[in-house]
Amino acid sequence: MNPAHPDPGEMLQRVRQQLILAQVRIMELEDTRDETGGRLEETGKLLQAAQSLADQKLDEAAHAERVRADLQAQFVHLQHVQQLTQQELRVAQDRLAVTEQALAAEKQGTADFAAQLRQLQEIQRKLEARLAEATTSNEARQQRVGELDVEIRGMKASRSWRWTAWLRSLERTVLGKKP
């Protein structure tokens, strides 16, 4: 036997061993294929999901951009309205200042009037007091007049007055006095 050639039995054993190991390798490769296929599918799904999410975000961004543009337009409009309002406000403030000045003058006039009124009221109060005194005095006098009148009436009704009537008539005649 040529020693360079391995024993046929050993060769056969190697072939048998490799035959089985080839099957193991095939199983490993099948695992790799199945795993890779699964991963590829998963990756595809992930990409699809990522794209869908990105599309959704793009839609949201577009919507946000439209909202931003609307708000910008509203902002510009509001700025214009604000300018007009400020102009009106300045005019109104000027008017208000004038009115305030007039009001101050009026207030001063009113104060003066009130002071005069208070003086008049004091005078009125004094006059009323004096009136009351006069009234009281007048009433006293009226009462005295009444008493005197009663006294005169009594005197005139008296017999002496009547008995002396002639004297008085004489007097008037003589003296030219009226009765």
Partner 1 sequence: MSPSATLRLHAEIETPRPLRARAREVTVKGWCLAEDLPDPPPVRLSTSAGIVPLTARPPRTDVPQLFPAHPAAAGCGFVLSGRLPAGVYAACFEAQHPDGRWQVFKRLTLTVEPWPLAAVMDEPIAAGLLRDRVKVGGWALDLDEPVAELTLRYGHREIACDVGRPREDVSALFPGVPHAGHAGFRSQDFLVAGHGPVRVRARLANGRIAIAPTTVCFSVATDENHAADLDLTLPRIGLAAEGAAQPPTRPAPVRAARPRNVLFVLYGSFASNSALHVAALANELAAAGHAVAVAVPHDAVTLAHHDRPAFRGLTFAEAEQGLVFPDGCGPDVIHAWTTRENVRVLTEKLRARHGSRVLVHLEDNEQQLLALSLARPFAELDRLGDGELDRLVPPDLSHPHRSRAFLAAADGITVITERLRSFVPAGKPCLTLWPAADARHFYPRPRPDAFRRVLDSAPDETVLFYHGNVHAANAAEVQELYAAVVELNRSGPPVTLIRTGRDSVAFPAGLAAAAAPFVLALGEITHHRHLPALMALADIFVQPGGPDEFNDYRFPSKLPEFFALGRPVVLPRTNLGTLVRHGTDAYVLDRADAAGIAGAVRALRADPVLSGQLGRGAVAFAERHFSWPRTAEALANFHLSLAPS
Q: What's the min distance (Å) between Cβ of 62 and partner 1?
A: 6
- Non-local (6+) Cβ contacts of 169 within 8 A are 179
Contact pick of 32, 36, 43, 52 for partner 1 (by CB under 8 A): 52
How many Å apart are CA 166 and CA 106, to the nearest integer?
78
Measured from the CB atom, is 29 or 105 closer to partner 1? 29
Q: Which is nearer to partner 1, 67 or 92 (CB)?
A: 67
What's the chain's Rg over C-alpha atoms? Answer: 68
> Which of the residues 56 through 115 are near partner 1 (CB under 8 A)?
58, 61-62
Nearest-5° Cα angle at 61, 57 to 64? 135
Q: In the range 4-43, which residues lie near partner 1 by CB under 8 A?
A: 9-10, 12-13, 16-17, 19-21, 23-24, 26-28, 31
Alpha carbons 115 and 7: distance in angstroms, whole number: 146
Tell whether the torsion through CA atoms of 150, 151, 156 and 159 is positive or negative: positive
* Shortest spacing between CB 41 and partner 1, in angstroms: 14
Q: How far is the CB of 39 from partner 1 (least distance, A)?
A: 14
> Cβ-count burial of 5 within 10 angstroms (0-12 exposed, 13-18 middle, 19+ buried)?
exposed
Q: Is 55 in the site for partner 1 (CB under 8 A)?
A: yes
| Contact residues: partner 1, CB under 8 A | 9-10, 12-13, 16-17, 19-21, 23-24, 26-28, 31, 47-48, 51-52, 54-55, 58, 61-62
